[in-house]
Amino acid sequence: MRAKYVLSEVITGLWRNVTMTVAMIITMAVSLAMLGASLLLYTQVSDMQDFYYGKVEVSIFLKNDVTEAQRSSLQSDLKVDPLVQNLIYESRDTAYQRFKTQFKDAPDLVNATKPDSLPESFRVKLKNPEQFQSMYDKYSGREGIGEIIDQRKLLGKIFGIFNSVQNVALAVAIVQGLAALLLVANMIQIAAYSKRREVAVMKLVGASNWFIQAPFVLEAVFAGLVGAIGAFGVLWLLKLVVLDGALKSLQNVFPPIPDTRMWLMLPILAGVGAAVNAIAGWVTLRFYVRV
């Protein structure tokens, strides 16, 4: 009986103020979607970091006028260097072949590039990718070497962009979350005002505090859960339209988000939405409305 009473109170409560409820659900959904996007981006980027940092190399590009002697002395030095784990020599010809396959979708670019315009290079995989600087110091002044490039640095820039996108999403989530909290507080106040007579009678005849407060708190929790489901829907939509749709060609760079990880977002967002609203609702009741 009690559960039924509380439930019917929650439903009438949400209906009584339906515009407010909808506003609160939408705000909550946006906030949680941003939170979810931020979480997904975070896990995605750390996955990509593990993957790419395992593959990064240091490229030592040789000058066009490098002599045979310079090249072979460099090669023998690199071979015995304790910093080096693996060494591959890439001639102009192989560099050009690789270039051709890499840009096979852009024939104009391939045609405009002459086979000898790409430099020959040593591709060095370091034992510890962090030791680029000592590698650089050791070889940078040497005759015949053009440029020494750390791929890690390039990747770092790209991941930096991802990180700032993630931070923006998180910031939007927090701001929208604050707006959602204020709406919860407002919703509770309106609900408490419209039920002030009932509340007064309940207190008078000795209804327990949880019994008086539960319908209000559950109203907020319910709105939070619906908001979380909305947010989950938005995330799937974004995944389908943006990642699997518009950015499909980038899938070898930006790996698709596995479905299990998407599904994991539902309990997380629902938990966050429900908990935050429950706490906000209860605090409003306890310290502001003093129901």
209 near other proteins, rule: CB under 8 A: yes
Q: Which of 103, 193, 211, 288 binds other proteins (CB under 8 A)?
A: 211
5 near other proteins, rule: CB under 8 A: yes
Min CB(27)–other proteins separation in Å: 31
288 near other proteins, rule: CB under 8 A: no
Which x/- pattern over 228-257 shows residues binding other proteins (rule: CB under 8 A)? ------------------------------
- Distance CA(269)–CA(263), nearest Å, equals 10
1 near other proteins, rule: CB under 8 A: yes
Q: Which residues of 138-150 are buried (b: 16+ CB within 10 A; e: fewer)?
A: ebeeeebbeebbb
**Nearer to other proteins by C-beta: 12 or 151?**
12
15 near other proteins, rule: CB under 8 A: no
207 near other proteins, rule: CB under 8 A: yes
Q: Among the candidate windows 152-160, 207-215, 255-263, 266-274, which touches other proteins by CB under 8 A? A: 207-215
**Nearer to other proteins by C-beta: 20 or 207?**
207
Q: Among the candidate windows 19-27, 205-213, 227-235, 248-256, which touches other proteins by CB under 8 A? A: 205-213
**Nearer to other proteins by C-beta: 9 or 90?**
9
7 near other proteins, rule: CB under 8 A: no
Interface positions with other proteins (CB under 8 A): 1-2, 5, 197-198, 200-209, 211-212
